[in-house]
Structure 1
Amino acid sequence: MAAVNRNMFDASVTTDRPRGGSLMVLPLNLIAFIISHLDDPGDLARLCRTCRVLNYMTLPQLYKSITLTSYDRIRYRGDQPEGMGSASPFSMGLNAIITRPYASLVRSLTLRGSWRESELDEHARIGRVPDSSMMLNIVVRAAIDKMAELESFTWDLNTKMLETVYLGLTNLPKLTSLTVRFPSSRHPRPTIVIPAMPHLRYLKITDIDPLCYPDDISTLLWKCRKLRVLNMHWSPRMREEQEPSVMLHDYFRKCVTAKQPLKVTKIGLQNFYALHTEEFNLAFDQTTVQDVTILTNPKADDYNFMNTFVDSTWPINPPHIIGIKSMRQDSFTRRHADFIGNFTGLEKLYFVNATPNPNDMNSSKPLEYSAPTPTSAGQNNLNSGNASAQTPHATPSNSPSLQANIRDAYLNNIIMNHAATLRHLLLPSYWPLSSSTIARIVHASPQLEQLAFATEFSSMETLGLLLPFLRNLVAVRLLVPTGATLSSQPSRPSKASLGRFSKRPCAPDEIFTSAMTLADIVDADDDILIDKFSESLADPQVFSQLKLFGFGWKAFELLDYYTVPCAPPPERNVQSQSQSPADLVSDEANGCRERLVNGLPHNDDGATASGLLTPAPNGTQAPTLLGKRRCDHELNPGTPPKTCKLRENPIELSEFNPCMPTTVTNGRMWRRRVRRVRWDVVKRYEIWGLDTQEL
C-alpha cells in the first residue's frame, strides 16, 4: 500500500475535474464495495490491468471463485483456436494456481467438462488408469495443497476422481462443501474408501453407479458430524434397467453401528431405487430433517415403469415427531398423497414438472401444447372422483379416473393439512384447476408468497378475481395446461392457419377474441401482453407486493407505478361490497358458471372469456385478465345497481373494495411499468428455479 497516494483516503466526489471524472477520486471502501458486486471474470481481469490500486483490490475478487471447464476438442473463437501459443485455458488455469502466489485467495474451485482419455478399451482390458487421467489428478492435488483457505470444491468432470485428490481434500481445515461426480461411462477404476472430512456441511454425490464404481462413502458420512445438506444422485441406468443394487446398508452402516445418526436438515435423493429397511430410520435423525427432495426423473413417454420395489416397502406413516417444512417431488402416487396427509406444517411444496416442459423458458424452442379436456366446476371439485383432466404423467396408470383421484387426494390433503402455513406452492402443469379449486386454495392459503399452477382457459376471469385476496403474493406463475386431447375438444388452430403471429399483423383485440387456449395468448407479441399487464396489475393498493408474473414460458417483471389520463366513467351508483374466495365458489354454484359457445368459453351473461383482455364496447369497462371482481349488477343485468361512495384518493389496503376502479385524483388512472425478463431474473424465485430435474 506504500504506492497508494494519500489522497485516496481523503478524496471526495467532485464535478469540476479538468479531464472528466475518474474512479480514483472515490474512497477506497466505496471502490471495494463496487468491485464486490462484479462477478464476470473478464471485467475483473480488465480491472486488474488498469492500475496498481485496482489490481491490489480486484485480485482477491478475481481468484475468490474459479471455474475451469475442460473440452474434449479444441474450440475456436473465430479463426483463432483457444490457447494458441500455450495450452488450453483449463490447463493454464491450473498452472496459474500452482505457479503464482494467488492460491491462498481461492475460496471455491470447480472443475467441469469432458476430459479426453485415449485408448480406454486397452487400459480397461489390462486394468490400468490412463496416464492423462492420472496426471490430471496429480496436478489437481498440487493445486489443492496450495489452497489453504479453500471452502468449496466441485469435481464435475467425466473422469473419476482418484484417491490422491481425496487425500489432499482431507488436509483442508476450512473445506465445508464437496461435490463429486462419478463418470457415466463404465470403465473400471480403482475402488477406494473415501476418507473422512470432518468439517463438511454440504455433500453432493452424483451419478453413483454401485455396480461399476463401488467406492465406499460410509466413513465419509460417519465422520461428517457437521453435515447439514446431503444430496445423492444415482445413475439413471439404475431405474431404466430396474437394478436393485442400491443397498442402504453399504452407505450408512457405520452410522448405524456407532448409533450416531446424521443430523441433516436437508436431504435430496434422485433416481433412488432401493428396498426400505429399518436401518434407514437409524441412519438419520428424522426430527432434524426440514427439507426433502425426491426426484425419479421419469421419461415423458414412459411413466409406467415398475415402482413396486420401492413403493410397497416404504412406509407412509411418518414418525411421531416430524419437522418437514419443504418438500419437492416429481412423481405422484396415492401413497405419497397419503403421506402428505399424515402431518402438518409444510411451508414450501414444489411439484416438479416432467421434462420436456413446455412452460420452461430455457427450452430451445416453444413446444406444442395439447389442450386438456375442459370440465365443469362440479366435475373438478376436490371431492369428486370423476374429474376428466388428462394427466398421463401423473400416475403409473393412464386411467383418467385414477389420475383424477390421485390429484384430488393431493389437493385435499394440501388444503386441509398445509394450506394455513404454505408460503410457496408449485403445482404441475398437467393439473388444470377449475375456478372452485383455485378459490379453495386461495381461501385456505393466506400466507402464499409464490404460487404456480395451471388453470383452464374458461377460469381466467375467476383468476383475476382471486389474486387480490393473496396480499403477500410476490411472484405468480400461470402455467399453460398440458395433457391429452380428446376428440370432443376443439383443436388448437395452428399459427399458420390463423396468421396472427407471423404471417400478418393483427390488432390486439383480434388476438384475444380469436384465442382458444392460453397458449394462444402467450404466443401474442410481448408489447401487447405488456400493455395488458400494465393495465390489469396497476392497482398499488392490491398488487403492490407482486413483483413477478409468469405466463407460460414468458415472465414479466412489475416495476414502478405511473398515471395516465382516463376518460370519465359513466355516472352510476355502485355500493361497495367485498367478497371472499369462498363467496366466489357459491356464486359459481348459483349460476355464474362458464360454458362453451362455438368453441369459446362464455359466461351466463354472454361475455366471452377470450375477451378478458379486450376493452368492452360502448365505453364500458370489460373484465381484464387479472382485473377485479365485477359488481353484482354487472354479473346479473336484471339486478339494479347499488350505491357506493367513490373516493378521490387511493383507498387503504385494509379497505380494498374489488368493485372500485383504480383511479387517482384529477381524473387519472394507475398504470405499471412492465418488462420481459429472462432466466437470470426468475431463477431467484423458487417456483422457477426449483422446477427442474436437478438436486
Structure 2
Amino acid sequence: MAAVNRNMFDATVTPDRPHGAPLMILPLNLVALIVSYVDDPADLARLCRTCRVLNYMALPQLYKHITLTSYDKIRYRDEEPEGMGSASPFSMGLNAIITRPYATLVRSLTLRGIWRELELEEHARVGRVPDSAMMLNIAVRAAVDKMTELESFSWELNTKMLETVYLGLAKLPKLKSLTIRFPSSRHPRPTIVIPPMPQLQYLRITDIDPLCYPDDMSTLLWKCRKLRELNLHWSPRMRNEQEPSVMVHDYFRKCIAAKQPVSVRKVGLQNLYALHTEEFNVAVDNAALEEVTILNNGGADLSMNTFVDSTWPTMPKQDLRLKSLRQDAIGRKHAEFVGSFTGLERLYFVNASLNPSDDINSPRPLIASTALTPPGSDNPSSETHGSGPYSTMAANSPSRQASIRDLYLNNITLNHAATLRHLLLPARWPLSASAVARLVHASPQLEQLGFATEFNDMESLGLLLPFLRKLVALRLLVPTGPTSDATRASVSKSVKYAFPSTHALANAQSFADIVEVDDEVLMERLSESLADQQVFHRLKVISMGRKGFQLGGYYTVPADEGDQQGHVQLQTPSGSRAPSAEEARNQDKAQDRSPSFGVPGSASNSRTASQSNGHPPSSLGKRRREDETPAAEQEEEPTPNVESFDNAPCLHPVFSDGRHWRRRVRRVGWEVLQRWEIWGLDKQEL
C-alpha cells in the first residue's frame, strides 16, 4: 500500500452532499479504529465500495482472514444463482488472490467444503489423479506463492492435498499454523513425504487413514523444533472396524532415530487404535507436556478394542507436569492414572454426544449436518497422557460405576483439588450434597465448575456456593443414564401437566423438573437467590441443563413487592448478608442512575449489615470481599464440611432499609456460553 500523508490523521473528510449530513466528520484515526472492529466480510466489502478512504482502511481487514467454501451444487440467493456471470465464489476468491495485488494482506487462508471430481472411479482404476483435483492444487499453489505473509493455512476440503501445495507451504517464512484434512473416501492418491516447515507452532491433521493415504509426516515432526501444539485425528473406521493399521512408530521414527523427542506443550489424540511400543517413550518429551486431550469413538464395541488398548501402560515412566487433562474416558485404569501425579489445574470429562439433539445438557444450537463439516467421530472410551491412551471398558453394573466414580473423586480430591481451577464432571455421576461438599472443601481455587446434581430444590446449592470464593461460572448438569432417563421422562411429564408454571418450581421432584420450569420463573428465582453481593459477586454465568443465564448488576425492589412474590431465598451463611443501610441507599441511587445490565453494585461490611437487619452473627464465620479486606484484618476462612452444611440456617431474602435486593438475570445462548471452557470444551472435537 502507498504511504499515507501524515496530515490525513489530523483532518476530516467532509465531501459536500446536497441532501444530507457529511459522509464522515470524525478524525481518520478514530474511523480506522472503528473499522478495525468490523469482522463481517459482507460489511467490510460494503465499506470498501463506499469511498477511497474507507477502501484504504477496510481492504486490509477484508483480506486478513479468508475462508473459501466449495459446494457440490449451485446455491441460490433470492432465486439468483451465486456467481452468475462469472464462476463460483470459491473460484473467484482464488482468482482475486492470484490476479490482484492484495495477496500480501492475507494472514489466514481456509479452504473447506466439497470439491467435485468427475470420473473418480475411472481415474482410480488407472492410477491417475483427476484433472479437476490437480488443477485445484495448482491454483492453490499459485495463491500460496503470492501470500508471503501467510501465518495460518487450513485445508478442509474432501479431496487430498497434493505435493505441489506442500512444497509451496514449506517456502513460507512466517507459517505458524497448519491444518490438514484427509479425505473420508478411499480413492488412491500419490504418497507424499511432507516437507519440513521450521516455523510451525501448531499442527492439526484429521481423518488419517494409513491404509489409503500413508503420507510420511515423520520429517515434518522431526524438523519442527518450534512445534508447541500437536493434534492427530484418525478416521473412526480404524476403531469401529478394528483395523490394526496405525503404527505410531512410523510417525515419530526420525525423532526416535535422532533421539530428539517432540517437545510439545499440547497434545491431542482422537480415535487412536494402535499398539504401544517402548520406543514411543522417547518420541514425545513427557516432561514438557502441559495439556493433553484424548478422545475415542464410544460407538465401537469397546470389548473388541481392549486387546490393543491394554498394551498402553497405566503409569508413565517420567514425571508429568500436566496442567490440563480432557478426555471422554471413564474407567478404573484411567482413574488410577489420574491418581499417579499431582498439580492439575483444569480437568474436563467430555459429556457431549455425537447427536446434539439427544443431549439434554447441550446449549449448542441444533444445526443440520452438512458436507462442510468434517465427519465427526468420537465418544466415551479412553484415557490419557502424552504416552498414549489407557482405554477401558465401560462399566455396566451400577455398583461398578459407583466404585469407579468414587475412585475418581478420591484421586481428584487428594491429588488435584488444591490446584484445580476448572472442573467438569460427567453427567452420569449425579452427586449428592455431601459429595459436592467434600469436593468444595478441598477445592478453594475453583473458578469454573460443572457437575450433575441430585438436588431437587435450590436450597442445597445455596449452602455450597458461598465457599467457592473464586467461582465465576457454574454449570449444573441433568443426570444422564438409563435410570435417570426413565425417571426424568416419567416425573417431568407428570409435573409439567399437573402444575401451572408458577407452581412447577415448588413442586419439582427432580433437577430435570427445575430445568423445565419457564425461563421467567427461573430468572426471578435466580434474581432473588443470588442477590447477596458478599457471597455471589464473582459469579457471572450459571446454567441448568441446556439453559444458560448471565448475571448482571444489583438493584432493589420495595419490600411489599418482594413479599408478594413469595419466593424462598437460598440458604446462605448469615455472615454473608446484605450491605449496611447507608451503603444500600447510596448504591440504590447509583443503580437508579445506571440501570444497565452487567454493572455490579459495590459490596459492604457483612457484619454491620447482619446486625442492622437483626440477624445473629453467622456460626460459619465472617465473609467479606477479598479485595476490600485489609491483610491485617483478614480472618481465617471457615472450613466447610458436611455437618456445617446440614446445620446451616435457612435465612430470609436479603433486604436493607425496607427494600429487597435483586440481581439482574438474563437468558443467554451459545454465543455467550462458548467463551467459558466448561461449555466450550465439552465437545467431541480436538
* Residue 177 of structure 2: aligned partner: 177
* Residue 98 of structure 2: aligned partner: 98
Give, in angstroms, the shift of residue 333 of structure 1.
1.3
* Residue 611 of structure 1: aligned partner: none
Contact 1:318 1:343 in 2 (8 A): no
Offset from partner CA, 1:512-557 (integer Å, 9 cap, x none): 1343332222222222222221111122221111111111111111
* Residue 62 of structure 1: aligned partner: 62
Q: Decide which of 479, 482, 485 is 1:481's aligned counterpart.
A: 479
Secondary structure at 1:342's aligned position in 2? coil
Distance 1:513 1:365 in 2: 34
Distance 1:82 1:208 in 2: 33
* Residue 642 of structure 2: aligned partner: none
Identity of aligned residues (%): 64
Paired residues, what number? Answer: 599
Give, in angstroms, the shift of residue 365 of structure 1.
9.4
* Residue 361 of structure 1: aligned partner: 363
* Residue 270 of structure 1: aligned partner: 270
Distance 2:521 2:393 in 1: 38
* Residue 331 of structure 1: aligned partner: 329
Distance 1:487 1:46 in 2: 51
| 2:624 matches 1:652 | yes
Q: What's the TM-score once normalised by structure 2's chain length?
A: 0.81
Secondary structure at 1:25's aligned position in 2? coil
AA of the residue aligned to 1:555: G
Q: Decide which of 349, 363, 374 is 1:351's aligned counterpart.
A: 349
* Residue 415 of structure 2: aligned partner: 417
Give, in angstroms, the shift of residue 354 of structure 1.
4.5
CA separation of 1:119 and 1:648: change in aligned 2, threshold 3 A: farther
AA of the residue aligned to 1:264: V
CA separation of 1:541 and 1:327: change in aligned 2, threshold 3 A: same
* Residue 203 of structure 1: aligned partner: 203
* Residue 386 of structure 2: aligned partner: none
Contact 2:431 2:452 in 1 (8 A): yes
* Residue 240 of structure 2: aligned partner: 240
* Residue 187 of structure 1: aligned partner: 187
Contact 2:495 2:513 in 1 (8 A): no
Give, in angstroms, the shift of residue 415 of structure 1.
0.6
| 2:541 matches 1:548 | yes
| 2:145 matches 1:154 | no
Contact 2:450 2:474 in 1 (8 A): yes
Give, in angstroms, the shift of residue 691 of structure 1.
0.2
AA of the residue aligned to 2:547: K
* Residue 219 of structure 2: aligned partner: 219
* Residue 603 of structure 2: aligned partner: none
* Residue 601 of structure 1: aligned partner: none
Distance 2:367 2:491 in 1: 19
* Residue 467 of structure 1: aligned partner: 465
* Residue 512 of structure 1: aligned partner: 505
* Residue 694 of structure 1: aligned partner: 685
Give, in angstroms, the shift of residue 45 of structure 1.
1.0
Contact 1:492 1:517 in 2 (8 A): no
Secondary structure at 2:476's aligned position in 1? strand
Equivalent runs, 1:67-86 vs 2, <5 Å? 67-86=67-86
Equivalent runs, 1:388-399 vs 2, <5 Å? 395-399=393-397
* Residue 444 of structure 1: aligned partner: 442
Contact 1:47 1:58 in 2 (8 A): yes
Q: Decide which of 568, 591, 598 is 1:622's aligned counterpart.
A: 568
Distance 1:121 1:66 in 2: 32
CA separation of 1:261 and 1:116: change in aligned 2, threshold 3 A: same
CA separation of 1:10 and 1:243: change in aligned 2, threshold 3 A: same
Give, in angstroms, the shift of residue 363 of structure 1.
5.4
AA of the residue aligned to 2:256: V
CA separation of 1:516 and 1:126: change in aligned 2, threshold 3 A: same
Give, in angstroms, the shift of residue 646 of structure 1.
3.2
* Residue 675 of structure 1: aligned partner: 666
* Residue 641 of structure 2: aligned partner: none
Give, in angstroms, the shift of residue 170 of structure 1.
0.6
Contact 1:434 1:459 in 2 (8 A): no
Q: Decide which of 398, 401, 404 is 2:402's aligned counterpart.
A: 404
* Residue 297 of structure 2: aligned partner: 297
AA of the residue aligned to 1:325: K
Which one is further off, 670-679 or 110-119?
670-679
Give, in angstroms, the shift of residue 139 of structure 1.
0.3
Give, in angstroms, the shift of residue 409 of structure 1.
0.8
- Over the aligned positions, Cα root-mean-square deviation in angstroms equals 3.1
CA separation of 1:25 and 1:664: change in aligned 2, threshold 3 A: farther
Contact 1:248 1:274 in 2 (8 A): yes
AA of the residue aligned to 1:407: R
* Residue 630 of structure 2: aligned partner: none
Secondary structure at 1:360's aligned position in 2? coil
Contact 1:288 1:323 in 2 (8 A): yes
| 2:521 matches 1:523 | no
CA separation of 1:325 and 1:57: change in aligned 2, threshold 3 A: same
Distance 1:113 1:490 in 2: 40
Distance 1:534 1:520 in 2: 19
AA of the residue aligned to 1:204: R
Contact 2:528 2:569 in 1 (8 A): no
Equivalent runs, 1:561-640 vs 2, <5 Å? 561-567=554-560, 622-624=568-570, 627-628=571-572
CA separation of 1:556 and 1:20: change in aligned 2, threshold 3 A: farther
Secondary structure at 2:334's aligned position in 1? helix
* Residue 528 of structure 2: aligned partner: 535
Contact 2:456 2:508 in 1 (8 A): no
AA of the residue aligned to 1:160: K
Distance 2:451 2:531 in 1: 22
Give, in angstroms, the shift of residue 311 of structure 1.
3.6
Secondary structure at 2:490's aligned position in 1? coil
